[in-house]
Chain A
Amino acid sequence: MLSWVLITSLSEGLKKCNMNVRIKSNVAVSDSGFVFDPSTGDSYSVNPIGVEIIQLLKEKSSTDDVLKSILERYETDEKTIDKDLFEFIQLLLNLQLAEKV
């Protein structure tokens, strides 16, 4: 049941979920993609698009704005970006690097 809910949720994507999140203020991310959570000591590596999304999440108030920014910069369809962005944001939430607002 849980996996069904998750699959449904993932297939819905960001826009349908109308989810706004922000990166926690003390989380540090470097240009090289090193992400450090100073409250737990955990660190992660993200690729350049991951850095871009995290930086956008730090600046933008809405995930819709983040989605639009990515769409403007990359040649791909909105549905794919919406789904991938939703998955990435879910990961950030699970790792407690981001929080819902």
Chain B
Amino acid sequence: MKEQLTIAVSGLNNTDNPGPGIPVIRALRDWKGKDIRIIGISYDHLEPGLYMHDLVDKSYSVPYPSEGSDNLLLRLEYIHQQEKLDFIFPNFDAELFTFMKLAPKLEQMGIKTFLPTVDQFEERQKYRLSEFGEKYGLHVPLSVTVGSVSEVTAAMNQFDFPVVVKGKFYEAFIAYNIEQVYSYFNKLQSKWGLPIIFQQFVYGNEYNVTALGDGKGTTIGAVPMRKLFITDKGKAWAGITLDEPRLLEMTHKLIAANKWRGGMELELIKDKDGKLFIVEINPRFPAWVYLPVAAGQNMPAAAVQMAFGEDVKPFTTYDVGKMFVRYSFDNIVNLSDFQNISTTGEL
């Protein structure tokens, strides 16, 4: 692998609902012995990462995945002509499917990715979680997918309140009665479309694991974390790494079973009896991925190494009790920067 790499990264929305882009970039910047040029990929002109010039060397606007993969590919071809990309790190759930489909074309262009297969991506979807748990022998809460409002009452007969009402890609609400279920159903449907997922609420403590699979069944890295402070959007504002072997065992079991390729985040609940339930599997690194890096496992760098065919040995240790605490910061921005990204799509 070259010592100088040009890597495009999306998810620069380092807001109160942060994307993983900036933490992934910090991880790549920490990669010793590598000279990394970072190209930001942006969907919105006010994504904070666009203006973090100490982390992002150059940025380009790209069309939303909903505008079609051909438009995205055309834009990526242009960016590649300018920058000679070596690797692309897509970080949004909503764009991953498109990038997985484009991966063979990108490979032909000389751009590598390290993503799950479409089958792996699809089977861990929120609306297929029950099936997924059954297939791999993992505990998951009862989940039912609802494709229309007429199915809500029948579906709800299978649950006890409270019930978690989840959007297809993002957002979840806890409903304590049927009126709230209908209200959240309509809210999520108008924002993210159908289907909506109902999931049995599990009382207990939430835990998260950032992990990296090599695509052959080996877990290259895994670090568990407990959120210490949660925002009103349900995002971790502070967290701490844990020494909880059962969380790691479950991660290894899952990756060994479905041969996950790439980064992932597991969201788990431990109930009062100590039983662990997987409540969600996110198909990319989370926004707290820099915590595992600081704890000793640079998983984003390892993902790039594997994409280039390097033999990466699994991480075996990490620092327990390592914490992160987020902060907000008013980055002062010149109008010319905003003007450039708004008018030329480049910054």
**A: number of interface residues (CB 8 Å):** 7
Say if the beta carbon of B242 comes within 8 Å of chain A. yes
Query: Shortest CB–CB separation between residue B242 and chain A, in angstroms?
Result: 5
Label chain B's interface by main secondary structure: strand
Cβ contacts under 8 Å, A26 to chain B: 243
B223-239: contact bitstring with A at CB < 8 Å (1 yes, 0 no)? 00110100000000001
Say if the beta carbon of B321 comes within 8 Å of chain A. yes
Are A40 and B321 within 8 A (Cβ)? no
When chains A and B are docked, how far (Å) is the Cα of A41 from the Cα of B239?
A: 8
Say if the beta carbon of B71 comes within 8 Å of chain A. no
Say if the beta carbon of B73 comes within 8 Å of chain A. no
When chains A and B are docked, how far (Å) is the Cα of A40 from the Cα of B243?
A: 8
Cβ contacts under 8 Å, A93 to chain B: none
Say if the beta carbon of B340 comes within 8 Å of chain A. no
Query: Shortest CB–CB separation between residue A28 and chain B, in angstroms?
Result: 7
When chains A and B are docked, how far (Å) is the Cα of A37 from the Cα of B316?
A: 21
Say if the beta carbon of B244 comes within 8 Å of chain A. yes
Label chain A's interface by main secondary structure: loop
Query: Shortest CB–CB separation between residue A79 and chain B, in angstroms?
Result: 35
Query: Shortest CB–CB separation between residue B319 and chain A, in angstroms?
Result: 10
A5-40: contact bitstring with B at CB < 8 Å (1 yes, 0 no)? 000000000000000000000101000000010111
Residue of B nearest to A38 (CB): B243
Cβ contacts under 8 Å, A39 to chain B: 242-244
When chains A and B are docked, how far (Å) is the Cα of A29 from the Cα of B244?
A: 18
When chains A and B are docked, how far (Å) is the Cα of A38 from the Cα of B241?
A: 8
When chains A and B are docked, how far (Å) is the Cα of A96 from the Cα of B240?
A: 18
What are 21 sample pairs from A and B whose C-beta atoms fall under 8 A apart?
A: A26-B243, A28-B321, A36-B321, A38-B242, A38-B243, A38-B244, A38-B320, A38-B321, A39-B242, A39-B243, A39-B244, A40-B205, A40-B226, A40-B242, A40-B244, A41-B225, A41-B226, A41-B228, A41-B239, A41-B240, A41-B242
Known pairs A38-B320, A40-B242; list 18 more (Cβ under 8 Å). A26-B243, A28-B321, A36-B321, A38-B242, A38-B243, A38-B244, A38-B321, A39-B242, A39-B243, A39-B244, A40-B205, A40-B226, A40-B244, A41-B225, A41-B226, A41-B239, A41-B240, A41-B242
Q: Name the 10 nearest CB pairs between A and B, nearest first.
A: A41-B226, A38-B243, A41-B240, A38-B320, A39-B244, A41-B242, A26-B243, A38-B242, A39-B243, A38-B321
